[in-house]
Amino acid sequence: LDFGIAKLLADGAAAGGPSTLTDAGSGALTPEFAAPEQISGGYREGDDEFTALTGRRPVLESAFAAVAQATPGVAIRRGEAVAGFLTGAEATPGVPHVAAVRTEAGEDIAADVVIDATGRRSALPRLLTDIGARPPVEELEDSGFIYYGRHFQSSDGSTPFAFGPLLMPYGTISTLTLPADNGTWGIGVIASAKDAALRALRDVERWTAVVKSFPLVAHWLDGEPLDDDVKVMAKIEDRHRRFVVDDIAVATGVLAVGDSWACTNPSLGRGMAIGLVHALALRDQLREGPLDDPAKLALAWDERTLSTVEPYYRSTLEFDRHRLAEIEALTEGRPYETDDPGWEMTNALQHAAPQDPDVFRALVRLIGVLATADEVFAEPGIFERVVELGSGWRDADPLPGPNREQLLSIVA
């Protein structure tokens, strides 16, 4: 679930775009209305920024593609893969400059700037080394999570009510409930990929029994299954690439955006929102230039990437690492302990949010990629309220559901 999409698509529609997610059957999620008034404090001016539109990936992509197709000056060429880059005069001695792409059909397309938006499976590093560039600095690791999920649809186009956050931790597992479009939704059970005892969740009956055992989630089963089996997603890689090494770009004339730059485990639902933030930053960068100095442009884009989306990537990665370590500690029957103040404040923020409307909105801004953690805690009074109201998060009652022993008995 990604906040911020609604405004972007609304802007596109106002500019004459032929399609929006609403037209495609997307649902709207408004946390300030879904939460009880004693938590949200009621609607406030400016709360519209929290409205999110939900949808499955193909629906999201088709809406964006339709707007792009109708945008003057944009040509969409489908089914034409890039085979390689062609180089031109170097902007930095010894550094290749990408001046064109060659399609697999053998056509050469010149460009002032080539943008790589081909996602987490981007071949950009190989394409760069093929023209003699140094490889980017790449960080790559298995996120360590495994997802067991199914999809459902209602008969009346509605989606289940969320009695809590869409991502909820329950000891050694988490549940993920995702409203989508046209009365469809997904339910996921997230575990450590090392947890062999829970691999029985591949079985539909055992998976269903586990979901039913969580009172805040069980009603999400009240729909028609869209798949006959449990879908399993594992070996999800966290990847980060930096295309500037020792203050010199590995190549000029080509810029990476979105998942081709960095991608993470999807449980926090930040992927598209981070990609949109990055895309808007690229728009701003190309407007500011300098387009006539490819070397400076590459460095400027690296700096803008570090300032706009790098904090979201790093905080997502750190949260996932802590959550995985917590799951594995609880699996071994011991509490999870860490000296990282970031983990402490994240949990304190979540614990304090239902107790204070301002803290609640701060949490929604953080979840929705509307503000970084540093920006949230810099808001007047937020840090102090989180410390005051959230310090007891370790002693809070767990969400209703089975403990580890009961969970294992359900899947046995």
Residue-wise pLDDT tens for the chain (412 aa)?
333 444 444 444 444 433 466 777 777 666 555 677 888 888 888 888 888 778 888 888 888 888 888 888 889 999 999 999 999 999 999 999 999 999 999 999 999 999 999 998 999 999 999 999 999 999 998 889 999 999 999 999 889 988 888 899 999 999 999 998 889 999 999 999 999 999 999 999 999 999 999 999 999 999 999 999 999 999 888 999 999 999 999 999 999 999 999 998 888 888 888 998 999 999 999 999 999 999 999 999 999 999 999 999 999 999 999 999 999 999 999 999 999 999 999 999 999 999 999 999 999 999 889 999 999 999 999 999 999 999 999 999 999 999 999 999 999 9
pLDDT value of residue 84: 97
- Which residues 6+ apart lie within 8 Å of 102 measured at CB? 82, 83, 84, 85, 86, 108, 109
**Dihedral sign, CA of 80, 84, 90, 92?**
positive
pLDDT at 8: 45
**What pLDDT sits at residue 51?**
80
Cα separation, 110 vs 86, in Å, equals: 9
Please, which residues have CB within 8 angstroms of residue 325's CB and are 6 or more apart in sequence?
A: 336, 338
- Rounded to whole angstroms, the Cα distance separating 209 from 410 reads 7
Predicted pLDDT of residue 269 = 81
Q: Are 63 and 57 in contact (CB under 8 A)?
A: no
Q: Where are the alpha helices (DSSP H) in 186-309?
A: 204-212, 271-288, 294-308
Sorted by sequence, the CB contacts under 8 Å of residue 270 that are 6+ apart come out as 2, 264, 312, 316, 369
Q: Output the pLDDT for position 15.
A: 41
Residue 220's nearest CA partner among 276, 298, 164, 269 is 164
Return the pLDDT at 40. Answer: 84
User: 83 near 103, Cβ under 8 Å?
Assistant: yes
DSSP 340: -
What pLDDT is recorded for position 20? 65
pLDDT of residue 142: 86
CA–CA separation, 412 and 405 (whole Å): 11
Whole-angstrom CA distances from 100 to 95, 115, 360 are 15, 11, 49
Provide CB contacts within 8 A for 226, sequence distance 6+.
Answer: 150, 151, 152, 153, 184
CA distances for 317 relative to 2, 144, 338, angstroms: 17, 11, 16
pLDDT at residue number 31: 59
